[in-house]
Amino acid sequence: MAAQNQETILNTPPKSSDTVQELPITTTTTKKIPKKLTLIPLIFLIYFEVAGGPYGEEPAVQAAGPLYALLGFLIFPFIWSIPEALITAELSTAYPGNGGFVIWAERAFGPFCGSLMGSWKFLSGVINIAAFPVLCIDYMEKVIPALESGWPRKIAVLISTLLLSFLNYTGLTIVGYAAVLLGLVSLSPFVIMSLIAIPKLHPHRWISLGQKGVKKDWTLFFNTLFWNLNFWDNVSTLAGEVDSPQKTFPMALLVAVIFTCVSYLIPLFAVTGAVSVDQSQWGSGFHATAAEMIAGKWLKYWVEVGSVLSAIGLYEAQLSSSAYQLLGMADLGIVPNFFSIRSKRFNTPWVGILVSTLITIGVSYMNFTDIISSANFLYSLGMLLEFASFIWLRKKLPELKRPYRIPMRLPGLIIMCLVPSAFLVLIMAVATKTVFLVSGLMTVGAIGFFFFMKFCKSKKLFKFSSGEAIEG
């Protein structure tokens, strides 16, 4: 197709009469690619996209005390997790192609918003991924002190990142079943700890507002909840790899929401009820200390091993999302076709895996506290665009085939989206000047990237997909 016609297709928004807009389930290749990701592996991939276990929930107690922490993990899923999961279920079944939220923004507002969404979410994703190999090395250095600093640490981070990326390259089915194994093993010490804690429980501790004289840190409290109950939409980028996505996605998201909330709450009830310590000790990693206090050092070591396995699962799930997001963006014509190239042996998008891995390695060697905060800021911008896309598609394409449809009318959906949107605005408003600056520069770069890709299309520097919707 000529470049001019291609440009026209990409920049012409779909008409409201187009009631069956569906994307290709696979990539632009003519060979039909079998979809092998089934319900159970998908549930655990979603679980690792979001949580990976109760590791990291402890600062909520440190920030606001046991009662507020328990209420937070009880109530916040209804404010944030469930709306995000419901939107993901509806739009992933309506547009069951790789790319997820990029597709939704592109179909709602056109190629520019699709590209901007893709850039925001991809940058936030790969920067967050960089934390997980570093976390693995942080735990390994307790056994191997030489990994604390210097070249041994840098080489260990590099090798661990490459090994984890190679596992991702071997296939999404392998990653899915590895997630099942990692999830069961990493959660098992918390099941044992919760059972052993039952005779030691003192229920009055659950209603404690925290130690007297300790000031509430609400910023830390809400950031902890946000971080631990976020990223439900990441799995949407894998929709093209799921077996019967119209049926599998809603069920997988339902089970994953319940499973994730329970995996946070039961250990939190157990530890807050059985252990009495200074509130300041409730930092990240306190669950390991609590395990030793409840059962002994053997359980502490098990929890620490579980945290490493959890980090591996988080890395694999989120790297898969980033790689398949690039593949979906290639299908839409947002990035060149070579991003949709799959491995002939493993059928994985090796170019997307390679690009994501290289960026991850680069970020791993930075002092990236502000960069991660900026990445979360970009993710929040992306979520606001995602909510807007969902509402606009409901209004613009009411007759679009939606195998799963949230049973609410438009006013109710707007209210459902406004509540988490207000929370996002609050999180962004308390960001530092550095975060605003870095996020602004990244956004300018994302806008520049869109126009650079547009220039490449006009000069035919790379091959691009037409971005046309293909029924079925």
**Tens-place pLDDT, residues 385-422:** 999 999 999 999 999 999 999 999 999 999 999 999 99
In this predicted structure, what is the pLDDT of residue 426? 85
**Cβ neighbours of 118 (radius 10 Å):** 29
| pLDDT, tens digit, 9 for 90 and up, residues 117-143 | 999 999 999 988 888 888 778 777 766
- Tokens read off for 453: 């890709």
Do residues 235 and 176 lie in contact, with contact meaning Cβ atoms separated by under 8 Å?
A: no
In this predicted structure, what is the pLDDT of residue 312? 92
Q: pTM of the prediction?
A: 0.86
Mean pLDDT of 350-367: 88
| pLDDT, tens digit, 9 for 90 and up, residues 45-83 | 999 999 888 988 999 999 999 999 999 999 999 999 999
C-alpha distances out from residue 11 to 88, 114, 201, Å: 25, 11, 61
* Predicted confidence (pLDDT) at residue 277 exceeds the cutoff of 70: yes
- Tokens read off for 340: 């949709």
| pLDDT, tens digit, 9 for 90 and up, residues 259-270 | 999 999 999 999
Dist. CA 39–CA 101, nearest whole Å: 21
| pLDDT, tens digit, 9 for 90 and up, residues 360-388 | 998 887 765 666 777 788 899 999 999 99
| pLDDT, tens digit, 9 for 90 and up, residues 209-246 | 988 888 888 888 988 898 889 889 999 999 889 988 88
* Predicted confidence (pLDDT) at residue 351 exceeds the cutoff of 90: yes
- HSE-up of 230 (CA within 13 Å, CB side)? 23
Do residues 127 and 408 lie in contact, with contact meaning Cβ atoms separated by under 8 Å?
A: no
pLDDT band at 28 (very low <50, low <70, confident <90, very high): very low
In this predicted structure, what is the pLDDT of residue 428? 86
> How does the average pLDDT of the chain come out, rounded?
87
